[in-house]
Chains A and B, each alone.
Chain A
Amino acid sequence: MSKTLFDKIWEKHVVDSIPDGPDVLYIDRHFIHEVTSPQAFTGLNKRGIRVFRPERVFASPDHNVPTINQHLPIQDKLSRLQVEKLTENCQAHGVKLFHLTHENHGIVHIIGPELGITQPGQTIVCGDSHTATHGAFGTIAFGIGTSEVEMVFTSQCLLQYKPKKMRITVDGELGQGVVSKDVILYIIARLGAGGGTGYFVEYAGSAFRNMSMEARMTVCNMSIEMGARGGLIAPDEKTFEYLKGRKFVPQGAEYDEHVEQWKELFSDPDAVFDKEMKIKAEDIPPMLTYGTNPGMGIPVDQPVPGRAGEEKALEYMGLKQGEMLLDKPVNYIFIGSCTNARIEDFRAVADLIRGKQKAGNIRAYLVPGSKLVERQIDEEGLRGVFEDAGFEIRQPGCSACLGMNEDKVPKGEYCVSTSNRNFEGRQGPESRTILASPLTAAATALNGKITDVRNLV
């Protein structure tokens, strides 16, 4: 029988099925961070049990960490305690930890792929909704709550009902200045913030095939923003080439054997999906959000729609129906987060701003996703480009994506941000987030107002 890629991976991981109930799904990789794991460890300790398969668990503190002076003790007491708790728990349970000063430290969804911990065909979970990022490698990767983190600690399994399947096909060539972030913002604007709820998405078509692995990660990362549990892309030569030689990937002949197995990971040609959506790549422009959920997105050169029910969001954002976002002055841009903090994002930004200066009103935060990305920025001479342009390069972490650490956008200010959520207060109390691609954010920094990057490239 014809199967989807999702079905193939799922079925290989079913340990048992409860009659009239969920499947017991085996989990290959479990990423943890400091915010959603402490209560799960406490649960284990209360029961007097240890992590069942610690070698499958990988930890990195990312949400709460400062992005300057990481060699010093964390100033904020509660943040420091949470990060210390992670270290303590990992030591007690034998879990691999990439601590704050480790050479491989970074945002969990950035370091998993770059270290080759993430591999095709795996099931991957993390107490974080952006776990879908790893789907770019042809994995079933999804976010879970802390009780579920505890379940995976206990048994390396989760009780899960199989979701429905949706395929989103984008064929054709993306226009100049249009990148993977625009593609996913466009898809979410079409489907709405809840349009993917109950589904697991497969992204298919030439637009995704033509994307680099890093660009694919940006797409899969935001699957949750339309409510989907996750999103995946069938692995191909680009995937195998990306993973080859990475730290946690088998080497030599063993690697070749893995690749042979990974080549079986695709949806059969006549596999049936519960829902299909087709998009022409040529129709996708650079995108912006204007509201308080990621589904409220528009082309950069279009007016704010202001549909019924959006009044509260527009009031929060200080925007009016029919107003243009283009040329609107903004004072903050943020390039970072698990969505857009990989080396290709910084290369693209550097190419755009090389030899130019940010506008005087702009504060531009650039926050690499990992220590490795930070080193690449230095090795490739990009730091000088950013500093010459007046951009501020910080140290790895989730930073201004979620207003949990010191990096926040002040009350009432707009921030053109490459992160994944524009919820009320997401980047700090009463901050106003406009989601966009790294190119749009960088172009905006140069002009001090929202800019259509197509006019610069």
Chain B
Amino acid sequence: MEKFKTITSTAVPIQIENIDTDQIIPARYLKATDREGFGDNLFRDWRYDENGRPKQGFVLNDNKYRGSILVAGKNFGSGSSREHAAWALADFGFRVVVSSFFADIFKNNALNNGLLPVQVSDAFLSLLLERISSNPHEEVLVNLDVQEIRLLSSGDSEQFEINPYKKQCLQNGYDDIDYLLSILDKVAEYESKTLRT
């Protein structure tokens, strides 16, 4: 996994609440057996019409808005456990998703793929959405070390939470599998003590 420190980027605003993982990537695009290429179908049905033509008015089709930070409405990533949602966002080029609330499974999936979910207050989310919508050149700084998100032009900022273990994993590019492989003897010991079917 790629290490994560700080990111400074313009941001892409999607002012929609309850964006579920079926919107991030519809089920009919989950048929691949590898992890690559899902970005092409990110937000497929909002982004393209039934003939595959880009839909006017959807932010990813608006060249003004670019960057590695996605800012979205409350309760992002609800629904299916499909990790393809996190893969699609990362494959498209996002490294950070900002919202005022995340669904649990999505949050874990994102963290396991070096995609940082940044949960901010409703007020700060409104401010971010307003600023980046009205000024696509507005730069946002996300600093994982000090757990802060900042609007560079005005200095408005907010702290965000991340659990210390996951923070360390992101900073160092470790994943849970490396850790789990190192404790297999403990697992075997647990199994031998705790007979179960």
Q: Which of B16, B176, B190 contacts A312 (CB 8 A)?
A: B16
List which B107-146 residues lie within 8 A (CB) of chain A: 108-109, 112-113
User: Which residues of A are found within 8 Å of B34, using beta-carbon distances?
Assistant: 38-39, 42
Contact, CB under 8 Å: B22 / A426:
yes
Alpha-carbon gap, A197 to B108, bound state (A): 13
Tell me if B91 counts as interface (CB < 8 A to partner A).
no
A404 to chain B, nearest CB (A): 4
User: Which residues of A are found within 8 Å of B102, using beta-carbon distances?
Assistant: 197
Alpha-carbon gap, A39 to B36, bound state (A): 10
User: Which residues of B are found within 8 Å of A293, using beta-carbon distances?
Assistant: 18, 20, 78
User: Which residues of B are found within 8 Å of A158, using beta-carbon distances?
Assistant: 176
Tell me if B148 counts as interface (CB < 8 A to partner A).
no
User: Which residues of A are found within 8 Å of B26, using beta-carbon distances?
Assistant: 403, 425, 429
Contact, CB under 8 Å: B18 / A145:
no
Contact, CB under 8 Å: A197 / B32:
no
Contact, CB under 8 Å: B22 / A227:
no
Contact, CB under 8 Å: A78 / B31:
yes
Contact, CB under 8 Å: B18 / A429:
no
Tell me if A35 counts as interface (CB < 8 A to partner B).
yes
Q: Which of A21, A194, A198 contacts B165 (CB 8 A)?
A: A21
A-B contact pairs, 22 of them (CB 8 A): A20-B165, A21-B164, A42-B34, A43-B177, A47-B177, A52-B184, A144-B81, A145-B108, A147-B83, A150-B177, A154-B180, A157-B180, A159-B179, A161-B163, A193-B18, A197-B101, A198-B104, A293-B18, A402-B22, A423-B22, A424-B22, A425-B23
Closest residue to B193 on the A side, CB-wise? A15
User: Which residues of A are found within 8 Å of B172, using beta-carbon distances?
Assistant: none
B38 to chain A, nearest CB (A): 11
- Chain A binding surface, main DSSP class: loop
Alpha-carbon gap, A119 to B197, bound state (A): 9
Alpha-carbon gap, A433 to B116, bound state (A): 32
Tell me if A148 counts as interface (CB < 8 A to partner B).
yes
* Interface residue tally on B, bucketed by range: 35 or more
Also in contact, A145 and B83, with CB within 8 A (given A16-B186, A82-B31, A421-B22):
yes
Contact, CB under 8 Å: B177 / A154:
yes
Closest residue to B190 on the A side, CB-wise? A15
Alpha-carbon gap, A119 to B194, bound state (A): 16
Tell me if A374 counts as interface (CB < 8 A to partner B).
no
B22 to chain A, nearest CB (A): 4
- Which of B32, B84, B101, B177 lies at the interface centre, i.e. has the most chain A CB atoms within 10 A of its CB? B177
Tell me if B27 counts as interface (CB < 8 A to partner A).
yes
- Which of A42, A122, A145, A403 lies at the interface centre, i.e. has the most chain B CB atoms within 10 A of its CB? A145
Tell me if B152 counts as interface (CB < 8 A to partner A).
no
Alpha-carbon gap, A157 to B180, bound state (A): 8
User: Which residues of A are found within 8 Å of B191, using beta-carbon distances?
Assistant: 26, 156
How many A-B pairs have beta carbons closer than 8 Å: the answer is 180
- Which of A63, A81, A258, A424 lies at the interface centre, i.e. has the most chain B CB atoms within 10 A of its CB? A424
B119 to chain A, nearest CB (A): 11
Contact, CB under 8 Å: A16 / B183:
yes
A266 to chain B, nearest CB (A): 19
Interface string of B160-196 (1 = CB under 8 A from A): 0001110000000001110111011011001100101
Also in contact, A227 and B78, with CB within 8 A (given A38-B33, A194-B101, A403-B26):
yes
Contact, CB under 8 Å: B33 / A194:
no
Tell me if B147 counts as interface (CB < 8 A to partner A).
no
Which residues from chain B sit less than 8 Å from chain A, CB to CB? 16-18, 20, 22-23, 26-28, 30-35, 45, 50, 74-75, 78-84, 86, 101-105, 108-109, 112-113, 163-165, 175-177, 179-181, 183-184, 186-187, 190-191, 194, 196-197
Contact, CB under 8 Å: B83 / A36:
yes
Contact, CB under 8 Å: A423 / B79:
yes
Alpha-carbon gap, A457 to B83, bound state (A): 43
* Interface residue tally on A, bucketed by range: 35 or more
Contact, CB under 8 Å: A155 / B103:
no
Closest residue to A78 on the B side, CB-wise? B31
Tell me if A411 counts as interface (CB < 8 A to partner B).
yes
List which A199-243 residues lie within 8 A (CB) of chain B: 224, 227, 229
B35 to chain A, nearest CB (A): 5
Q: Which of B27, B33, B112 contacts A403 (CB 8 A)?
A: B27
A201 to chain B, nearest CB (A): 13
Alpha-carbon gap, A129 to B27, bound state (A): 14
User: Which residues of A are found within 8 Å of B112, using beta-carbon distances?
Assistant: 145, 147-148
Contact, CB under 8 Å: B105 / A151:
no
User: Which residues of A are found within 8 Å of B17, using beta-carbon distances?
Assistant: 309
Alpha-carbon gap, A119 to B27, bound state (A): 30
Tell me if A354 counts as interface (CB < 8 A to partner B).
no
Contact, CB under 8 Å: B32 / A78:
yes
Tell me if A135 counts as interface (CB < 8 A to partner B).
no
Also in contact, A159 and B180, with CB within 8 A (given A147-B175, A425-B26):
yes
List which A71-95 residues lie within 8 A (CB) of chain B: 78-79, 81-82, 85
Also in contact, A20 and B164, with CB within 8 A (given A143-B105, A155-B180):
yes
Alpha-carbon gap, A154 to B86, bound state (A): 21
Alpha-carbon gap, A198 to B104, bound state (A): 7
Alpha-carbon gap, A145 to B21, bound state (A): 12
User: Which residues of B are found within 8 Å of A423, using beta-carbon distances?
Assistant: 20, 22-23, 79
- 10 additional contacts (CB under 8 A) given A24-B183, A155-B183: A12-B194, A52-B187, A145-B105, A148-B112, A163-B104, A193-B18, A292-B18, A402-B22, A424-B45, A425-B45
B79 to chain A, nearest CB (A): 6
Q: Which of A79, A148, A421, A430 contacts B108 (CB 8 A)?
A: A148
A398 to chain B, nearest CB (A): 9
Alpha-carbon gap, A127 to B113, bound state (A): 16
Contact, CB under 8 Å: A411 / B186:
no
Closest residue to A16 on the B side, CB-wise? B186
Tell me if A175 counts as interface (CB < 8 A to partner B).
no
Also in contact, A193 and B78, with CB within 8 A (given A12-B194, A21-B165, A157-B180):
yes
User: Which residues of B are found within 8 Å of A309, using beta-carbon distances?
Assistant: 17
